[in-house]
Amino acid sequence: MKETGPPEQPEAHISVMAGPAIEWLAIHPDGVYVDCTAGLGGHSEAIVRQLEGGRLIALDRDPEAVRRTTERLRPYPQATVICANYAALETVLDEAGVSQADGVLIDAGISSSQLDDPARGFTFQQDGPLDMRMNPGEGISAAELLARSDEAAIERILREYGDVRPVKRLAAGLTERARAGRLTTTAALVEAVQEILNVRHKIPEEVRTVFQALRIAVNAELEHLGTGLRQAAHRLRPGGRLVAIAFHSGEDRIVKQVFQELGRPRHERYPDGRTKRTIPPILRILTRGPVQPSRDEIARNPRSQSAKLRAAERLDNNGG
Ligand SMILES: C[S@@+](CC[C@H](N)C(=O)[O-])C[C@H]1O[C@@H](n2cnc3c(N)ncnc32)[C@H](O)[C@@H]1O
């Protein structure tokens, strides 16, 4: 089913913006750093190479990514690789005996190895089971999600996570096919979108956005991102850095919102509206707007094109 069509999900990549990520982390050789999204281990290795006396905790929810990163970081005894979801970051750090970190990196989305393996079900370029779970041992596959959801839920997923259009037509067509047990492979999903949109000889752009929306829903990616960023901010020591790389507007919106929320004072109020107490901000935003990859990087790795990096620094407040 290799046909001409839109480029594959642009968020897949190998260590996008590694240079800027390392610069914004402003690594102290004796510090404690957390790479929440080890992936292929590229950023993790770049961090650990700068450590002398410091420690790296690298995690990923995908056991295969953990296996690869463990292998890659074998020469570095100061690295610990853990299979975990960064939405449980505080528990992971407690269990690793880390109370505060000097820097946390979240490089959201999926890795090129996840995308390129048809057996994982993320790619629309080759046929495979319609799975899309980052951790295949957790939750339900995209095929099951489609089969179990009603039309309104599928419409919401397509709209909120992919800005897919025409959303009603696609939601209705996919619901009908999923109920009939016809959406169990990636090829079947591609063909369904082609049929619904009446596009026969190429893969329409909507296929990319449908795949993206389903993947985000299957893995609860945006919810976990918000939780992970908040937990990371709370576990940084004053002066510690939080660096996040997003690959589509939904992710970047969450990063921006969480940074803004933690970067301004909060007012607790009495029922009559009077201020009870003002809780100081815990983050100082370092990047005025999103930092994007250089032209050189985009030329070398076109998948980096949509990346947006934001960085913040922990203030010496406990945030209430
Ligand atoms: C863009 S890749 C990271 C690539 C990595 N920085 C590198 O240098 O190779 C994103 C990785 O984050 C993982 N991931 C996504 N959401 C996660 C979550 N909530 N918790 C832990 N890992 C997650 C994915 O499994 C994937 O391996």
Same domain, 254 and 204: no
Q: How far is the CA of 134 from the centre of ligand 1 (A)?
A: 9
Residue where a domain stops, chosen among 175, 192, 218: 218
Same domain, 227 and 213: no
Residue where a domain stops, chosen among 187, 218, 249: 218
Question: Span 6-14, mean pLDDT?
Answer: 46
Question: Span 152-174, mean pLDDT?
Answer: 97
Whether 61 is in the pocket of ligand 1, judged by its Cβ within 6 Å, is: yes
Question: pLDDT exceeding 90 applies to what percent of the chain?
Answer: 92
Residue 29 lies in a domain: yes
Residue 125 lies in a domain: no
pTM of the model: 0.94
User: Residue 292 belongs to what domain range?
Assistant: 18-112+221-314
Residue where a domain stops, chosen among 201, 218, 235: 218
The amino acid at 257: Q
Residue 271 lies in a domain: yes
Same domain, 225 and 211: no
Question: Span 92-117, mean pLDDT?
Answer: 96
Residue 10 lies in a domain: no
pLDDT value at residue 6 = 53
| Average pLDDT score, the chain | 94
pLDDT tens-digit readout, 236-292 = 999 999 999 999 999 999 999 999 999 999 999 999 999 999 999 999 999 999 999
CA torsion through residues 26, 317, 231, 161, sign = negative
pLDDT value at residue 12 = 39
pLDDT value at residue 233 = 98
The amino acid at 140: I
Q: d(Cα 182, Cα 180) in Å, to the nearest integer?
A: 5
**CATH code (residue 292):** 3.40.50.150
Residue 8 lies in a domain: no
Residue 128 lies in a domain: no
Q: d(Cα 98, Cα 73) in Å, to the nearest integer?
A: 19
Pocket test for ligand 1, best of 11, 24, 37 (most atoms within 8 A of CB): 37
Same domain, 38 and 89: yes
Whether the predicted pLDDT of 2 surpasses 70: no
Q: List, in order, residues 6 or more apart from 17 with CB less than 8 Å away.
A: 245, 291, 293, 297, 304, 307, 309
pLDDT tens-digit readout, 113-156 = 999 999 999 999 999 999 999 999 999 999 999 999 999 999 99
Q: d(Cα 138, Cα 177) in Å, to the nearest integer?
A: 25
pLDDT tens-digit readout, 282-298 = 999 999 999 999 999 99
Residue 121 lies in a domain: no
Same domain, 141 and 263: no
Number of domains in the chain: 2
Residue 32 lies in a domain: yes
**CATH code (residue 197):** 1.10.150.170
Whether the predicted pLDDT of 87 surpasses 60: yes
Confidence of residue 10 (pLDDT cuts 50, 70, 90): very low
Whether 247 is in the pocket of ligand 1, judged by its Cβ within 6 Å, is: no
ω into 166 cis (within 30 of 0): yes
Same domain, 179 and 210: yes
13 Cα nearest atom in ligand 1: 1
Same domain, 29 and 83: yes
pLDDT value at residue 3 = 39
